[in-house]
Amino acid sequence: MHVAMLAPIAWRTPPRHYGPWERVASILTEGLVDLGVEVTLFATGDSETKAQLHWVCPRPYGEDPELDVKVWECLHISEVFDRADQFDLIHNHFDFLPLTYSGLVRTPVVMTIHGFSSPKILPVYRKYNGQVYYVAISEANKHPDLDYIATIYHGIPLEEFPFFEQGGDYLLVFGRIHHHKGVREAIEVARRADLPLVVAGIIQDEAYYQSEVAPFVDGEGVRYIGSVGPDQRGEVLGQARALLHLINFEEPFGLSPVEAMACGTPVIARRLGAMPEVIADKETGFLVDSIEEAAIRITEDLAGIDRRQCRQHVEQHFTAARMVQQYLDVYEEILAKEGRT
């Protein structure tokens, strides 16, 4: 089996810091190679992989504003489909645009739908429903108009996330700084709980950061430490007392809650999107509906969470090995349906 893995090019694969879609594509690619599957990864030229790397875009456009996004995305996507006959299957992690190429080739296409950026893109998914094999990353992120071959939760390599028996004295926000991620809400919860807050992540919305976050960053009550890469990620997550994930949108999955739990850190998340599928309420954290409830859970109930149980929850449900095997099963099912050996 020879799989073409189409990663986005906003960031390197794997990303240096932020880049969840690229990260999942990387974990899956490396896991498939370890199982003996032939994979060609289509990603940026500076990407790192044990697979065959094929690239046209030299570096991520998220790191180089001189690169025209539309130009390089079109060149990147067309490179895969120009070579479609070389592969048994194309796996798209790129969002909706590659769907428009799928009817022009005989090679079957499977697509992981990482989320719907807007209802405006749904007509593309509807057009190719039944022609492309859709994989959902959670039950919550499924759209009723679409058919799915499987739901496969993201998995992480546990060896990258050391377990911490004891948490520290700070609460943590870990992810992009945007209204969607509830950073301002986390600041208020930390104030009510009388605990310091550490904020880690890229500033995706500069106006939001300047108006809703920066005024509270004083280096003591609230610290912004920037984007955290793989070398620091485990320590920052594992030494937190809890991860605050007070999202303001229907989160399709949420890697940071899984990564935090892998380190033993409980998660306090708003009950939206996939959070009820990711977090075991009252066992690995708490699902809440308000800022007030989040603060109460921290002050009154957080000490009752067993950090070892947080780790075990990830070991049972969200490992890279489990994710890779489920995708391999899907590939084999697709090739059987398509009459390919």
Q: Say if CB 226 and CB 200 are below 8 A apart.
A: yes
d(Cα 170, Cα 167) in Å, to the nearest integer?
Answer: 8
Q: How many domains does the chain have?
A: 2
Q: Are residues 148 and 213 in the same domain?
A: no
Q: Are residues 246 and 118 in the same domain?
A: no
35: number of Cβ within 10 Å:
11
Question: What are 284-332's pLDDT values in tens digits?
Answer: 999 999 999 999 999 999 999 999 999 999 999 999 999 999 999 999 9
Q: Are residues 205 and 308 in the same domain?
A: yes
Count of helices and strands (H, E) across the chain: 12, 13
Q: Are residues 135 and 168 in the same domain?
A: no
d(Cα 259, Cα 160) in Å, to the nearest integer?
Answer: 9
Q: Are residues 194 and 313 in the same domain?
A: yes
d(Cα 132, Cα 149) in Å, to the nearest integer?
Answer: 10
Residue pLDDT tens, the chain, 341 long = 999 999 999 999 999 988 999 999 999 999 999 999 999 999 999 999 999 999 999 999 999 999 999 999 999 999 999 999 999 999 999 999 999 999 999 999 999 999 998 889 999 999 999 999 999 999 999 999 999 999 999 999 999 999 999 999 999 999 999 999 999 999 999 999 999 999 999 999 999 999 999 999 999 999 999 999 888 999 999 999 999 999 999 999 999 999 999 999 999 999 999 999 999 999 999 999 999 999 999 999 999 999 999 999 999 999 999 999 999 999 999 999 998 76
d(Cα 134, Cα 130) in Å, to the nearest integer?
Answer: 8
Q: Are residues 136 and 213 in the same domain?
A: no
Residue 302 domain boundaries: 158-317
Q: Say if CB 174 and CB 260 are below 8 A apart.
A: yes
Q: Are residues 234 and 110 in the same domain?
A: no
Q: Say if CB 143 and CB 137 are below 8 A apart.
A: no
CA distance between the termini of the chain: 8
Q: What is the CATH number of the domain that holds 292?
A: 3.40.50.2000
Question: Considering the entire predicted model, what is its pTM?
Answer: 0.94
Q: Are residues 123 and 52 in the same domain?
A: yes
Q: Would you give the DSSP letter of residue 36?
A: T
Q: Are residues 208 and 312 in the same domain?
A: yes
Q: Are residues 208 and 266 in the same domain?
A: yes
CA neighbor of 6 nearest in space, from 88, 107, 103, 79: 79
Q: Are residues 101 and 162 in the same domain?
A: no
Q: Are residues 261 and 229 in the same domain?
A: yes
- Give the CA distances from residue 159 to residues 9, 100, 156, 246, 321, in Å, rounded to whole numbers and listed in that order: 26, 38, 9, 27, 12
